[in-house]
Structure 1
Amino acid sequence: MRAPFLNLLLMASCAAASFAQAQTQGQAIAPAPQTAAISPDAIKQREQELEAARARQKAAEEAQAKLKAEIATLGQDRTQLNQQLIDTAANVRTVEAKIDEAEARLKTLNGREQQARSSLDSRRADIVEVLAALQRAGRRTPPALLVRPEDALQSLRTAMLLGAVVPELRGRAETIASELGELVALRKSIASERDQLAADRDKIRSDQTRLTALVDERQRQQASREKDLDAENSRAITLSKQVGDLQGLIAKMEQDLQSAAKAAEKAAEAAKQAEAKAAAAAASAKPGPAVFKDRSRTSPAILFASAKGLLPLPVNGNKIRDFGGSDGVGGVQKGISLATKPGSQVTTPCDGWVVYAGPFRSYGQLLILNAGGGYHVLIAGMERISVNIGQFVLTGEPVATMGSTSQVASILATNASQPVLYVEFRKDGTPIDPGPWWAANEGEKVRG
């Protein structure tokens, strides 16, 4: 009875000793390909694959048509459209964060798996010694067999029951079993993380498709309200080339450009109205996030100065430079810089009117919002902006997407190959520290 159990341990130990090597060398040598006629079964299989591809394409087209019809219906109700825009953008940013976290966990798990493989590989001498002892104790030479780590672990557990027969080997078997058990658990965790990551990527593709349709509908409505939109945008780009700094750009836009001037005028009027409301409600509690729930509003929910501690950061990423720090060329940073993933969704941190949207000097694509009360919010470094001058946008509304590389000048970016979003707050033309405005739960790692 001893020999079969000892053979199991021998096979399991062989697997443990050669497992790492088998992963890199492959477990079998594939025969050389041969040229042969395509069999009827192969032709049938290809036809089935083609039919399946056609079915998937048809399903995608039907889903797209249904989505367009749904968005068109939503477009008739501005409040619902705004709600869907903000909710879908929030979903995209949430899934972006989940994907980042899953990728980080996978990186850690892969590192631990490699360590487990290396540990087993380094124990070859010990395993060979155990094998030699077991081979002498057995009645016949065990077969050479490669098995999965799960099989090796089960064999070890079975063989360890023979501790009374071979007590001197029990300790070594326990150590090998522990390492194999860890490897099995790690591989299961990695498979689970990869499945979840694939599901999240499918979801974000679906959400991004929906978000694109929503943005297109929003811009279609905006274009119908602004008949001379293209001419206004062209004139804005021309004006931007005539000024040398951001303050000059803001002043030029709000003075010379019709839609930007209207936006500035509305911002001033809204600020006066908000000040009157704030004075009447001075004795009430400090405003909270609930003030932004009204999606039908056409002016800021509260005074920008009263929004401290309430505003979300506009993108998922890591803060690499803060206000007041070095800008890398001997100057002082006038805003914050956030390193992001390629294609990340950018949303508005506050309510406001768009007074500029387009390229500007070393900032790449630049978006300027008039938040009222003399406050302006500048967001730069995106690859594509999806709003137009004169639009009123709500907190959390999607306004742009990041590219695959840095669009901001090198003085604002730590790594030129990584997308970087630059955010600056200004009060009466002077840059101010945006720190007090960010929501307390945001921290260095933006959650969205």
Structure 2
Amino acid sequence: MTLGHTAALLRPGAAALMAGVIAAGAMLSQAQAQSAAPPVDLIRQREQELEAARAQQKSAAELRDKLKAEITAIGEDRTKLNEQLIDIAARVRGIETSIGEAEARLRPLDVREQQVRGSLESRRAEIGEVLAALQRAGRRAPPALLVRPEDALQSLRTAMLLGAVVPEMRVRADQLVADLGELISLRKTIAAERDQLAADRAKLNEDQLRLASLVEERQKKQSAAEKDMEAERARAVTLSRQVDSLQDLIGKMEQDLKSAAKAAATANLQGAPTAANGKPNLAALRDPGRLSPAISFASAKGLFALPVNGSKIRDFGRPDGVGGVEKGISVATRPGAQVTTPCDGWVVYSGPFRSYGQLLILNAGGGYHVLIAGMERISVNIGQFVLTGEPVATMGSSSRVASILAANASQPVLYIEFRKDGTPIDSGPWWAANEGEKVRG
């Protein structure tokens, strides 16, 4: 085969490979240029970010005013207010789940992008070498073969040499083009994921604002019903300092504190709702105006949703690291996560307690109590009846329970404990195995 034939055959493939490698070099150069953006561009970017933040703040203020008017009207109807609270809280937790899933998908994509970029950057010299060789192969015209025998011999030798080099060059160029294609695909996927993440966060902010307004309206109604609420709260904190254990705290609240005693008496008076054929009446959970548990706590095994989105890090009955065993479960959460009630019940304590941080205790009737601790802020009052799925608290940015802090947990942790007649019990049988089995108000 002559050099002319070889070059003619190679030109189309060389041109295609050359285009891919040129694109790889251009992309790397662009990335470097972006990383070395001049200060003027950075200042302009910060100004745009500030302007966007101001616009978002203004939009939030307008939305807050609009919500205030809507919710004031809703607040006149307790049933409708409860329904809105539960629906928005469920939506907030759903968006929290979507955000967590998107962040989990982005982590390996970001890692892979860095790996591909690093690989291409480390082969910048190779890209230049391949590119130069392909350019020469594409542009060189074949020499005349009928001038002298020496020219013909030289042409044949050149063709033989080029034929030996091109396969290796093709392999190297193909690898570069493949890496470039993967990088482009990764960037598109990452951009789409980040767009969805931004949209989810915007929806979360809006729904959290609405939820905060609804909670404020609910507590306003509660405060109006209980004129001495502040005095009750102060007395609850005083009483909590006089006891050493959770059981003593429950007993003290339900005996000595008016609101808690009333709630406990109501729980005992109402008793446990009867279940037809031993099965709970789940339809009763759809009544947002109820003032007592829709189903009995004992009959609700396998139906409760965890009060917060997250992953379980400690289980009931396992060693607690200080010579005892865990009396409840611990769930690691996102900062600021929404906490909802797993069941219907009356609030018999709401406030700080020793090493538990902020503590919420519900009397669920039938001798059952649910304890939830580790939140940053609780949004319900002592004596209040709360429904399954109702928002009652929010998490902070770090753990608030002393035993979790001692274990150097890097994220907020919620502690949940079930008690029957004063004794901690395994909450495991009550949690739903999957989303479809969970009950909500």
TM-score range, shorter chain: 0.7 to 0.9
Q: In structure 2, what is the equivalent of residue 265 of structure 1?
A: 265
Q: In structure 2, what is the equivalent of residue 323 of structure 1?
A: 316
Q: In structure 2, what is the equivalent of residue 26 of structure 1?
A: 33
CA distance in structure 1 between the partners assigned to 2:171 and 2:188 by the alignment: 26
Q: In structure 2, what is the equivalent of residue 256 of structure 1?
A: 256
Counterpart residue identity of residue 257, structure 1: L
Alignment of 1:214-229 (within 5 A): 214-229=214-229
Indicate which of 359, 364, 367 corresponds to 1:374: 367
CA distance in structure 1 between the partners assigned to 2:35 and 2:335 by the alignment: 39
Counterpart residue identity of residue 24, structure 2: A
Counterpart residue identity of residue 237, structure 1: V
Alignment of 1:302-317 (within 5 A): 302-317=295-310
Stretch of structure 1 that moved more, 87-96 or 53-62: 53-62
Counterpart residue identity of residue 117, structure 1: R
User: In 2 relative to 1, CA 442–424 (structure 1 residues): closer, same or farther, beyond 3 Å?
Assistant: farther
SS at match of 2:97: helix
Q: Retained in 2: the 8 A contact 1:376–1:425?
A: yes
Q: In structure 2, what is the equivalent of residue 16 of structure 1?
A: 24
For residues 184-216 of structure 1, the C-alpha deviation after alignment (integer angstroms, 9 at most, x for no partner) is 111000000000000000000000000000000
CA distance in structure 2 between the partners assigned to 1:305 and 1:56 by the alignment: 47
User: In 2 relative to 1, CA 69–106 (structure 1 residues): closer, same or farther, beyond 3 Å?
Assistant: same
User: In 2 relative to 1, CA 28–246 (structure 1 residues): closer, same or farther, beyond 3 Å?
Assistant: closer
Counterpart residue identity of residue 204, structure 1: L
SS at match of 2:216: helix
Q: In structure 2, what is the equivalent of residue 130 of structure 1?
A: 130
Q: In structure 2, what is the equivalent of residue 394 of structure 1?
A: 387
SS at match of 2:303: coil
SS at match of 1:423: strand
User: In 2 relative to 1, CA 292–252 (structure 1 residues): closer, same or farther, beyond 3 Å?
Assistant: same
Stretch of structure 1 that moved more, 113-122 or 402-411: 113-122
Q: In structure 1, what is the equivalent of residue 115 of structure 2?
A: 115
Runs of 5+ consecutive residues of structure 2 not aligned to the other structure? 1-7, 141-162, 437-441
CA-based RMSD of the aligned residues comes to 3.0
Give the Å deviation of 1:125.
5.9
SS at match of 1:395: coil
Give the Å deviation of 1:292.
1.5
Q: In structure 1, what is the equivalent of residue 412 of structure 2?
A: 419
Indicate which of 376, 379, 382 corresponds to 1:383: 376
Runs of 5+ consecutive residues of structure 1 not aligned to the other structure? 34-41, 141-162, 444-448
CA distance in structure 2 between the partners assigned to 1:418 and 1:61 by the alignment: 30
Counterpart residue identity of residue 212, structure 1: A
Q: Retained in 2: the 8 A contact 1:313–1:349?
A: yes
Q: Retained in 2: the 8 A contact 1:20–1:118?
A: no
User: In 2 relative to 1, CA 12–75 (structure 1 residues): closer, same or farther, beyond 3 Å?
Assistant: same
Give the Å deviation of 1:117.
1.8
Q: Retained in 2: the 8 A contact 1:337–1:412?
A: no
User: In 2 relative to 1, CA 270–108 (structure 1 residues): closer, same or farther, beyond 3 Å?
Assistant: same
Q: Retained in 2: the 8 A contact 1:78–1:296?
A: yes
1:293 aligns with 2:306: no
User: In 2 relative to 1, CA 27–240 (structure 1 residues): closer, same or farther, beyond 3 Å?
Assistant: closer
Give the Å deviation of 1:240.
0.3
User: In 2 relative to 1, CA 343–57 (structure 1 residues): closer, same or farther, beyond 3 Å?
Assistant: closer
Q: In structure 1, what is the equivalent of residue 96 of structure 2?
A: 96
Q: In structure 1, what is the equivalent of residue 83 of structure 2?
A: 83
Q: In structure 1, what is the equivalent of residue 3 of structure 2?
A: none
Give the Å deviation of 1:17.
5.1
Counterpart residue identity of residue 380, structure 1: A
Give the Å deviation of 1:330.
1.4
Q: Retained in 1: the 8 A contact 2:21–2:177?
A: no
SS at match of 2:92: helix
- Structure exhibiting the larger radius of gyration computed from Cα positions: 2
Stretch of structure 1 that moved more, 66-75 or 165-174: 165-174
User: In 2 relative to 1, CA 311–377 (structure 1 residues): closer, same or farther, beyond 3 Å?
Assistant: same
CA distance in structure 1 between the partners assigned to 2:249 and 2:316 by the alignment: 21
1:363 aligns with 2:371: no
CA distance in structure 2 between the partners assigned to 1:347 and 1:234 by the alignment: 24
Counterpart residue identity of residue 85, structure 1: L
Stretch of structure 1 that moved more, 63-72 or 248-257: 63-72
Give the Å deviation of 1:294.
1.2
Give the Å deviation of 1:293.
1.1
Q: Retained in 1: the 8 A contact 2:281–2:295?
A: no
Give the Å deviation of 1:410.
2.6
For residues 207-251 of structure 1, the C-alpha deviation after alignment (integer angstroms, 9 at most, x for no partner) is 000000000000000001000000011000000000000000000
Q: Retained in 1: the 8 A contact 2:358–2:377?
A: yes
Give the Å deviation of 1:66.
1.9
CA distance in structure 2 between the partners assigned to 1:426 and 1:322 by the alignment: 15
Q: In structure 2, what is the equivalent of residue 351 of structure 1?
A: 344
Counterpart residue identity of residue 422, structure 2: G
User: In 2 relative to 1, CA 79–318 (structure 1 residues): closer, same or farther, beyond 3 Å?
Assistant: same
Q: Retained in 1: the 8 A contact 2:399–2:405?
A: no
Q: In structure 2, what is the equivalent of residue 192 of structure 1?
A: 192
CA distance in structure 1 between the partners assigned to 2:392 and 2:111 by the alignment: 38
Q: Retained in 2: the 8 A contact 1:378–1:425?
A: yes
CA distance in structure 2 between the partners assigned to 1:310 and 1:263 by the alignment: 24
CA distance in structure 2 between the partners assigned to 1:261 and 1:31 by the alignment: 67
SS at match of 1:214: helix
Count of aligned pairs between the two proteins: 398
Counterpart residue identity of residue 237, structure 2: I
User: In 2 relative to 1, CA 290–108 (structure 1 residues): closer, same or farther, beyond 3 Å?
Assistant: farther
Alignment of 1:29-108 (within 5 A): 59-108=59-108
Indicate which of 324, 329, 333 corresponds to 2:326: 333
CA distance in structure 2 between the partners assigned to 1:288 and 1:109 by the alignment: 46
Counterpart residue identity of residue 33, structure 2: G
Q: In structure 2, what is the equivalent of residue 157 of structure 1?
A: none
